[in-house]
Amino acid sequence: MPKRWQDQAAGLRQMVTPSRCRSISLCGGRGDSGTTTLTINLATALAACQRQVLILDESIDEQNISSRLQLKPSFTLDHVLRHEARLTDCLIDSANGFQLLSVACGPELIAELNVADQRWLADQFETLTENIDYLLLDTRQTGSNGLPNLSLAADDVIIVLSNHAESLTDAYAIIKQLAQEYARRNFRVLVNRVETLNEALALFERLNSVCEQFLGESLQLKLLGYVPEDQKLNRATHLGTTVIDAFPDTQASIALEQIADSILNWIPPKLGHQSAHNFVHRLVESSRLLQERTLHD
């Protein structure tokens, strides 16, 4: 039985079990960044490495993950927050080896949770993630609109960058907001839809240079890797599956598997950031920040 301890910092009743679960946000803007496609494929690659993976999908449009994979949840987070269902009722098992949970709902519903309801939701989330290795957060598109997303609650943030001016602009806007307003200092960058490693390096250096110039050298950006432009990836998306499952020998599949291997070797975050209670606490706080920002815009 793992040792339990009292965590007084989170403001909830925090008897938490040390967890191996790591939350990773994939965050992109405009410019065909392909964030959702990457999330689905990375989840598949991690699941193929015998890891338990759960995707939290923040998108509400017709291009969200459940729509892409032609999956329909019986219940939504709205039902849970109204005590009409449990979180486990909202889980969807995909044919690709990972599970999916839509967390798209009005931020006001989460922001208004009282301490008792936060505890209740955290307990459910702890049960849900007890055997999960990775939470992948497919965040709603953000950037130039200035509105925060679920990245505020994640252990790690991956900025998805493509070779378009809008993508570079939004990537910088996301990093600036998370750094200046929410004290995030470390980011990983995943370059998508480029032809060569040199093109990926050039894009990363442009972003890194702008961030150093305007945000300071204390900010740390690391290049996670790149996924080449690959028509087989687009074809798999149209087929409602992943490129790793449909075309395992293509360049995009190999690149995604290499990136998954890299993620497996990341240094684990501090235990305090791994607990389900702490994640829900950060989710509530980020929803409150989003609600405040929306009301003032």
What is the tens place of the pLDDT at every residue in 124-179?
A: 988 888 899 999 999 876 544 555 567 877 889 999 999 999 999 999 999 998 89
The mean predicted confidence, pLDDT, of the chain is 84
User: What pTM, to 2 d.p., does this model score?
Assistant: 0.86
Instruction: Please compute the mean of the pLDDT values over residues 220-244 and round it to a whole number.
Output: 94
Instruction: Please compute the mean of the pLDDT values over residues 238-243 and round it to a whole number.
Output: 91
Residue type, 21: C
283/111 Cα distance (integer angstroms):
9
| N-term to C-term CA, the chain | 49
Task: Check: CB of residue 2 under 8 Å from CB of residue 126.
Answer: no
Instruction: Please compute the mean of the pLDDT values over residues 262-282 and round it to a whole number.
Output: 74
27/22 Cα distance (integer angstroms):
16
Query: Which domains are delineated in the chain?
Result: 23-263+271-296 (3.40.50.300)
Task: Check: CB of residue 44 under 8 Å from CB of residue 52.
Answer: no
For the ranges 8-17, 211-220, 221-230, 236-245, the lowest mean pLDDT is seen at 8-17
pLDDT at 271 over 70: no
pLDDT at 285 over 90: no
Task: Check: CB of residue 221 under 8 Å from CB of residue 176.
Answer: no
242/157 Cα distance (integer angstroms):
22
62/41 Cα distance (integer angstroms):
18
Give per-residue pLDDT as tens, 75-112. Answer: 888 888 888 999 999 999 999 999 999 887 766 777 78
